[in-house]
Chain A
Amino acid sequence: MSKAPLVWKLYIAAFYIFLFAPLLVVAIFAFNASAFPSPPWKGGTLEWFIGSGAVFGKPGVLMDPIWLTSIGNSLKVAVPVAVLAVLLGTINAWVLERAEFRGKTIVAMMMLWPLVIPGVILGISILAFFSRVANGLEELLQTDLDPLRPGLPLVVLGQLSFILTIATLIIAARLRKFDRSLEEAALDLGASRSRVLRTVTLPFLRPALVGAGLVALLMSFENFNTTLMLVGSDPPLPITMYGQMREGATPAINAVSLLLMLGVGGIASLFALTSKAQS
């Protein structure tokens, strides 16, 4: 099987062209000096990145408050999601790898569930549940509980519901490889438990913690399905993109997409580096 027939090789080549064609088109047309994101090519411009709107009537991404606010909203969601995912994911990993108790297999299995539930359903179920809680509590306390209504705090919870599974799995995989005799040695040498955690265990886990944080950041930034159901009046980036794509957008959307690709590329290579350090 070592000599692959030519047809096979041609198929592989065609496949990779197919894989990258849509991304290349998006990237190239971010620089087209036209009011529409479509051919013909009318010459290169950076107007869709930094233009003030004087040339085409619509501003570039970095000058447009709509895009800038959306990116800001995405960050307001992604950073808390990543921090919580790493913190809680570490504790969950500990439960999976170190704790012994009855019903552990059930807990371990339930932690996988969020991955097999469609994102749209995670979204509507959390929306419905928190609305009921808000209705009940508001009647009881006679105050408004806006964080439980559609909006960025609810988006954080919705995304966390499945991103936490992924963070837990990444950190648990690393914890499983840890040689516990290192901890015992440190304890024998007179270190306190918290000191062992701080100077032995956590440094060992660090690549996984960074990796889990980056993956969480990325997944949060790009999540659409769950976010769509929980979003209020502050749309994160994917929601704004979706709206613009339905209405017919200017090449500014290509510019946003290109920036997103570059950001993702950066984060992905960081993640690749941390996981290389892991193995």
Chain B
Amino acid sequence: MMPARKLALFLLLAPAVLWLGLLILLPHVEILILSFSERVGPRVYAFGLGNYLEFFTEPLYWRTFARTAVMSILVTALTLVLAFPIALYIARVAQGRLKAMLLLLCLLPFWVSELVRTLGWMMLLRETGLISYLLQRVGLASQPVEMLYNDGAVILGLVYGGLLFMIVPLANALESLEPSVVEAGYDLGGSRWTVLRRIVIPHATPGIVAGSIIVFMLTVGNFATPVLLGGKNGLWFTEQIYAQFITRFNWPQGAAFGMLLLVLSSVIVWLGLRLSGQSLGTTLRQA
């Protein structure tokens, strides 16, 4: 019986081991090693920190990195502020069919490809786009207005892409808030704002953390939205990784950039979890 059980367990585990080993662990070891190798001659590589030094000495690289980090945090904060009233409405005010419909309507656009959504924003914002056209028609503008290819457009696109991943965890967290607790807050003389700040927001913390972490990760790792909506001004770090790997064929440099992005996203996720006292497992389950 024992050997048979062992064999069964081994067979059951085989797919997971192959998957996590060959598609996750070893590839990451590979880019870690690659990121520490320097080209010393044609097809000859040696261990060295050159790729990381290059990152810190070339302003374009570290500035793009810092910009990506700062803008991602900004996008996350904006998404949270915009999504909170929606989630609160869905969870606490809307009832029955309306509630189900509002949630479903939120989900729908996010089943559609990111590229389709970005195409929509391009068609709205560009010089020959709909908003520019309408502004000219009603006489608010005398010539075509270009609203694409700037930071505002990039932020808009990224916030749009993150909204759902904020609303769902927030609404889930707010759902479990007892109405009697909120009533008590009012009865004790709390204003709308005090109740929101002292009761509703603390209760929603797990949802806020889960949503923020997911939105941050998606934003930092995004490629299409900053490139298409920002054009030359997009300057997203994933674009640098792509350029090193695919355009310049400088894999060690690209691997170093990849490791840096991975560290950035892990550190921010870890900080978010530490500051709020949540764990990764429960956080992912919230979402």
Contacts and interface: CB of A to CB of B under 8 A. Distances in A.
Interface of A: 1-2, 4, 8, 11-12, 15-16, 18-26, 29, 36-40, 88, 91-92, 94-95, 99, 101, 107, 109-122, 124-130, 132, 157-158, 160-161, 164, 218, 221-222, 224-225, 228-229, 238, 241-242, 245-246, 253-254, 257, 260-261, 264-265, 267-268
A160 B23 contact: yes
Contact of B129 (A23, A38, A130): A38
B119 interface: yes
Interface stretch (B58-66, B204-212, B221-229): B221-229
B163 A19 contact: yes
Contacts of A253: 119
Given A22-B124, A91-B12, A111-B20, 12 more contacts: A1-B92, A22-B123, A23-B120, A39-B133, A120-B242, A125-B30, A128-B34, A129-B26, A129-B31, A161-B23, A224-B224, A242-B115
Contacts of B9: 99, 101
Interface residues of B, number: 76
B86 to A, nearest CB: 6
Given A116-B280, A117-B262, A264 B113 contact: yes
Contacts of A117: 24, 262
B51 interface: no
Contacts of A101: 9, 13
A110 B24 contact: yes
Interface string B48-84: 0000000000000000000000000000000000100
Interface string B21-33: 0111011101100
A120 B221 contact: yes
B36 interface: no
B217 interface: yes
Closest 9 CB pairs of A and B: A22-B120, A118-B221, A125-B27, A129-B27, A161-B23, A129-B30, A222-B113, A39-B133, A38-B128
Interface of A is mostly: helix
B31 A125 contact: yes
Contacts, number: 223
A118 B262 contact: yes
Nearest to A119: B221
A12 B119 contact: no
A125 B71 CA distance: 25
B223 A228 contact: yes
Interface in B90-133: 92-93, 102, 105-109, 111-124, 126, 128-130, 133
B231 to A, nearest CB: 9
Contact of A112 (B82, B86, B284): B284
B15 interface: yes
Contacts of A21: 120, 124
A265 B31 contact: no
Contacts of B284: 112, 115
A261 B206 CA distance: 33
Contacts of B102: 12, 16
Contacts of B129: 38-39
A121 B258 contact: yes
Contacts of B220: 118
A257 B120 CA distance: 10
Contacts of B117: 22-23
A124 B259 CA distance: 11
Contacts of B163: 19
B184 interface: no
18 contacts: A1-B93, A19-B160, A21-B124, A29-B123, A110-B24, A113-B24, A118-B220, A124-B31, A124-B254, A128-B34, A129-B31, A132-B30, A161-B19, A222-B112, A228-B242, A241-B119, A245-B115, A260-B113
A2 B184 CA distance: 15
A8 B80 CA distance: 16
B228 A245 contact: yes
A92 to B, nearest CB: 5
A120 B133 contact: no
A11 to B, nearest CB: 6
A246 B254 CA distance: 23
A158 B22 CA distance: 11
